[in-house]
Amino acid sequence: MWLEKFIEEQIQKAISEGKFSGLKGEGKPINLDEYFAAPEDVRAAYALLKNHKIVPLEVELIREIGELKEKMKVCENERQLKLLSKLLNEKSMALSMILERNRLGKRKKF
């Protein structure tokens, strides 16, 4: 019981300090259907990964590819542009290989 009271006090304190203002999705309803459709152990694993900001390699590669493309748009140095292009090709190839491996892996289920 004391824990619930403590948590409630902390929430009220954060609200009064404005820590919940301007958050993404503020004022919108939360759809939890997909969340509760997943098994409890899967939800716990995903929550753990998310809380520690751990994402699958393919997600990280997609983010890095996007960043490289943005850098290339504003790059004016030819040498730097070639380096960025090389990195973009390497990351794109790595992503393609991971996605292909995942695709083939899913087909092998018996």
Mean pLDDT, each 10-residue run in order, the chain (110 residues) = 83 88 83 86 87 88 95 95 96 93 69
What does each C-alpha distance from 73 to 60, 81, 85, 93 come to in angstroms? Answer: 20, 9, 11, 20
- Tokens representing residue 2 in the block: 């004391």
- Tokens representing residue 54 in the block: 């751990």
What is residue 110's predicted lDDT score, i.e. its pLDDT? 45
What is residue 107's predicted lDDT score, i.e. its pLDDT? 58
What is residue 34's predicted lDDT score, i.e. its pLDDT? 81
Q: Which amino acid belongs to residue 43?
A: R
